Structure 1
Amino acid sequence: MTASIMRCWKRPLKLLAICWLCLWAALGAASEVEVRNPQLTPGDDGYTLSADFAFEFNSRLEEAVTRGVVLNFLVEFELTRVRWYWLDDKVASRSQTLRLSYNALTRQYRLSSGALHQNFSSLEEALRILSRLRHWTVLDKSVALRPGETYQASLRLRLDPSQLPKPFQLTALANREWNLASDWLNWPFSVPREEPPREGAK
């Protein structure tokens, strides 16, 4: 009797384990975004960041946008002071949301960031701008950087499923075609040393 009950319990447990493995496989097979050529450039207001994102916008996402679903892409940047003797120190953290939408009346695609909007006649044009991050101020004058010190800069781009309409959030969890994201790309960033004043300079 006991052995029969145990066999009955094992079957649903195996099915549950298989379901979880399928779910994790779907999550692990997320569409890849590659972060390329990140550059931090000094300016009057601090440091700006430029980079390129390479990705394939699949037919499922294209269909969703065309049918009126707004896609929110989250760009995230971090600057960290790596310390071998203690926990790393996060010096700065910035993020911005890029909203891709479609207006069926005007037949135009719109890419928005805050109060800024750009309209495009084709999806290809909108994605071209989405894939090119330019002159984003990530380190303003309030961030205390130490001249001569090397930090770790990190950048990633991902489709934010939490901003999808509720019916699509569960679909995005189980369907890899909705998981468009990059890994964190890390690179060393060295703050230039302050040049000593030249002789004879006033």
Structure 2
Amino acid sequence: MAVVRPGRLALCTLVTGMLPLLCAPALAAGFAVGAIQPRATERILQVNGNFDLSLTPKVEEAIGKGIPIQLVFDLRLYRQRPLIWDERIKTWDLRRELSYHALSGQYLVGGVSAVPADRESFTSLNEALTELGTLDTVALSIDQALAADAAYRLDVRVRLDIEALPSLLRPVAYTSRDWNLNSEWTTWKVQR
């Protein structure tokens, strides 16, 4: 008959109880779509919204070492139809970049093709992630006029673009969960 000492039982209980706390930082990292407000005029879709962006320690370390990351905001506009599948009207991929400038100690956020002077700078990573995850009145052109009597929806997600990483880092990023930062697709009704 095995005898369990009270000290070992308490230690096992303590360790088992702390496992979720130790794993929580790894589980907390990831991307999520916050609130999106799409509004359409005849040929323009205006999008306001925010995304909750949380990086893993490996991605934060890479940024701190000067490796920029690109996020892709995927947006798909659909016309809703009652009897058959919804018609895709237009797709947009908005790209934004986060980088770290070691000399100034600043995090830079901006469009992928933006010159450094056109980027916003932040002293902390959290401030930079907040700005990176904010879409403020982004105007997107639509090729065709939207029907006044139709209902439209916008599907949205955000993802880390692994293909934009340096080529030597890509195999590691594809095989590591630390680099798999994607949100789920969310659907939002387009206001007219």
Same fold (TM over 0.5): yes
Contact conserved, 1:149 with 1:190, CA < 8 A, in 2? no
Q: In the alignment, which residue of structure 1 is the partner of 2:150?
A: 149
Distance in 2 (CA, whole Å) between partners of 1:143 and 1:30 is 41
Contact conserved, 1:79 with 1:152, CA < 8 A, in 2? yes
* TM-score (norm. length: structure 1): 0.71
Distance in 1 (CA, whole Å) between partners of 2:178 and 2:161 is 13
RMSD of Structure 2 on Structure 1 (CA): 2.3
1:44 CA displacement: 9.6
Distance in 2 (CA, whole Å) between partners of 1:77 and 1:30 is 24
- Aligned with 1:122 (options 121, 124, 143): 124
The change in CA–CA distance for 1:127 and 1:85 in structure 2 (over 3 A counts) is same
Partner SS state of residue 167, structure 1: coil
* TM-score (norm. length: structure 2): 0.75
Distance in 2 (CA, whole Å) between partners of 1:96 and 1:60 is 24
Q: In the alignment, which residue of structure 2 is the partner of 1:54?
A: 52
Distance in 1 (CA, whole Å) between partners of 2:125 and 2:66 is 13
Is 1:112 the counterpart of 2:110? The answer is yes
Structure 2 unaligned regions, length at least 5 = 1-26
The change in CA–CA distance for 1:106 and 1:167 in structure 2 (over 3 A counts) is same
Which amino acid is the alignment partner of residue 58 of structure 2? R
Partner SS state of residue 119, structure 2: strand
Higher-Rg structure is 1
The change in CA–CA distance for 1:146 and 1:43 in structure 2 (over 3 A counts) is closer
Contact conserved, 1:30 with 1:178, CA < 8 A, in 2? no
Q: In the alignment, which residue of structure 2 is the partner of 1:197?
A: none
Q: In the alignment, which residue of structure 1 is the partner of 2:78?
A: 80
Which amino acid is the alignment partner of residue 166 of structure 1? S
Contact conserved, 1:77 with 1:154, CA < 8 A, in 2? yes
Partner SS state of residue 169, structure 2: helix
1:112 CA displacement: 1.6
Contact conserved, 2:53 with 2:129, CA < 8 A, in 1? no
Worse overlay, 58-67 or 115-124? 115-124
Count residues with an aligned counterpart: 162
1:166 CA displacement: 1.2
Deviations 1:150-187 (A, max 9, x none): 12211111000011111211111111110111111112
Partner SS state of residue 107, structure 2: strand
Contact conserved, 1:72 with 1:159, CA < 8 A, in 2? yes
Q: In the alignment, which residue of structure 2 is the partner of 1:40?
A: 38
- Aligned with 1:131 (options 124, 130, 133): 133
